[in-house]
Amino acid sequence: MIKPHGSDSLNPRLVSANRAQQLRAEAESLPSLLLNSAAAANAVMLGAGYFNPLTGYMNLADALSVATTLHTEDGLFWPVPVLNLVQDIAPIQGASRIALRDPNIEGNPVMAVMDIEAIETVTDEQIASMAEEIFGTVDADHPGVATFTNLGRYVVSGAIEVLSLSYFQADFPDTFRTALEIRDEIAERGWQKVVAFQTRNPMHRAHEELCHMAMQRLDADGVVVHMLLGKLKPGDIPASVRDNCIRKMVDLYFPENSVMVTGYGFDMLYAGPREAILHAVFRQNMGATHLIVGRDHAGVGDYYGAFDAQTIFDDRVPADALEIEIFKADHTAFSKKLGRVVMMNEAEDHVKEDFILLSGTKVRQMLGEGIAPPSEFSRPEVAQILMDYYRAQNG
């Protein structure tokens, strides 16, 4: 099986049940820090092994180095700073060991215990510089920039031991999986060549066909549909609804035992090209050999070029940095001429009118009005789940 990033074996920071019990007892006497959602999401990814080989939150020097060079100061390839940015350090001033509390569960239980390496002040200029590198913009209307620039001006760094993966295991017991659990299932299935498909949306016909194409062209053993279960932006479809849509599509339109439907606990960054590389890192950690990177992968609005998330792998990722390979995909759509879904750049003698193309806004409008999108765009069974959701939303 493909090796994890940066080490020979996976080193998830989630501790055993016995160790967790010890740490909870210890945490009662430790100073506490209530994490923000971004830092909590990083703790979940560290705990679940997706951020291997990192052992905790980066210090300021590593964060600045990663933002600028895509490497930590000691040379580890990494695309996005993994930070614990804090507004108020008064509760932990002078402490060397602290309890990190979960902002997403009532009562704010302890989710990790941290050995503090440093508490550093980050300037507005340094935050802006990192935002420009990570997101390609400092526009406050960009949802990722808006979040990142308002998390705080203190960097609290150090290794963590993770006791809890927040609400994800309880809320998504059939879907949430750690990187180690996915590796184990890939091994059990005997899969060697494994394609990962990232999604924060329900899967329509074009996404479905993209997975079929990748499997066929790569002669892959299976696809891991890996959906984001953390925070999105307002208006995005909730994870539970997306989960139902994807499972219905897989049950009806994929061969048996060819797809694993899984999810991970992270907040969407909307960082486009940089986030595409991060996606590749943690898909390698979960055992995938290939990642589908399509048009405007992890993008938002018009901040990124259609294929910037593909070209960054050629322009900024050293040849030996990652073992996972990228399956580069064009925009896919149903061809009226050919009667099937195709990659648009492979459809000769086609003009725009030969494809069925619907914007996300148009699809949401149709679903909200109880109108099913064309079957060439969305499977009717999937459309029904979405129509039921929008109908409930609209009262």
pLDDT digits (tens, 9 = 90+) for 284-339: 999 999 999 999 999 999 999 999 999 999 999 999 999 999 999 998 889 999 99
Same domain, 61 and 78: yes
**Per-residue pLDDT reduced to its tens digit, 32-90:** 999 999 999 999 999 999 999 999 999 999 999 999 999 999 999 999 999 999 999 99
Does residue 287 lie within any of the structural domains?
A: yes
Same domain, 113 and 222: no
Q: What is the distance between the alpha carbons of residues 186 and 286, in angstroms, rounded to a whole number?
A: 9
| CB within 8 Å of 25: residues ≥ 6 apart | none
Of 288, 12, 300, 18, whose CA–CA distance to 144 is shortest?
300
Q: Is 201 a catalytic residue?
A: yes
CATH code, domain carrying 86 = 3.10.400.10
Same domain, 276 and 388: yes
Residue 178: burial class (beta carbons within 10 Å; 0-12, 13-18, 19+): buried
The values of phi and psi at residue 180, to 5°, are: -65, -40
Q: What is the DSSP letter of 79?
A: S
**Per-residue pLDDT reduced to its tens digit, 218-229:** 999 999 999 999
Same domain, 157 and 70: yes
Does residue 12 lie within any of the structural domains?
A: no
| CB within 8 Å of 300: residues ≥ 6 apart | 142, 143, 144, 233, 270, 272
Does residue 1 lie within any of the structural domains?
A: no
Residue 356, strand partner residues: 334
What totals of helices (H) and strands (E) does the chain contain, helices first?
13, 15
Does residue 218 lie within any of the structural domains?
A: yes
CATH code, domain carrying 339 = 3.40.50.620
Q: Which of 127, 144, 166 is the last residue of a domain?
A: 166
Q: Which of 166, 184, 200 is the last residue of a domain?
A: 166
Same domain, 139 and 217: no
Does residue 6 lie within any of the structural domains?
A: no
Asked whether 66 and 78 are in contact (CB, 8 A), the reply is: yes
Question: Position 118: which residue type?
Answer: A
The count of domains in the chain is 2
pLDDT classification of 359: cutoffs 50, 70, 90: confident
Same domain, 98 and 214: no
Asked whether 308 and 28 are in contact (CB, 8 A), the reply is: no
Same domain, 108 and 214: no
Q: Which of 138, 166, 194 is the last residue of a domain?
A: 166
Q: Is 108 a catalytic residue?
A: no
| Catalytic position from the list 11, 201, 247, 364 | 201
Of 147, 133, 177, whose CA–CA distance to 273 is shortest?
133
Same domain, 371 and 309: yes
**Per-residue pLDDT reduced to its tens digit, 111-127:** 999 999 999 999 999 99
Residue 227, strand partner residues: 199, 263
**CA-CA-CA-CA torsion sign (281, 286, 288, 291):** negative
The values of phi and psi at residue 286, to 5°, are: -90, 0
Does residue 7 lie within any of the structural domains?
A: no
The neighbour count for residue 364, using CB atoms within 10 Å, is: 15
The values of phi and psi at residue 14, to 5°, are: -70, 130
Same domain, 58 and 180: no
Least confident of 44-48, 50-54, 136-140, 239-243: 239-243
Question: Which residue carries 């995909």 as its tokens?
Answer: 329
Cis status, amide bond into 53, omega within 30 of 0: yes
Same domain, 307 and 276: yes
| Catalytic position from the list 189, 200, 247, 316 | 200
Of 288, 311, 315, 142, whose CA–CA distance to 215 is shortest?
288
Q: What is the mean pLDDT of the chain?
A: 95
Same domain, 129 and 223: no
pLDDT recorded at residue 367: 86
What residue numbers bound the domain in which 69 lies? Answer: 17-166
Q: What is the distance between the alpha carbons of residues 126 and 122, in angstroms, rounded to a whole number?
A: 6
Residue 25, strand partner residues: none
Does residue 179 lie within any of the structural domains?
A: yes
Does residue 10 lie within any of the structural domains?
A: no
Same domain, 139 and 222: no
DSSP letter string, 279-297: HHHHHHHTT-SEEEE-TTT
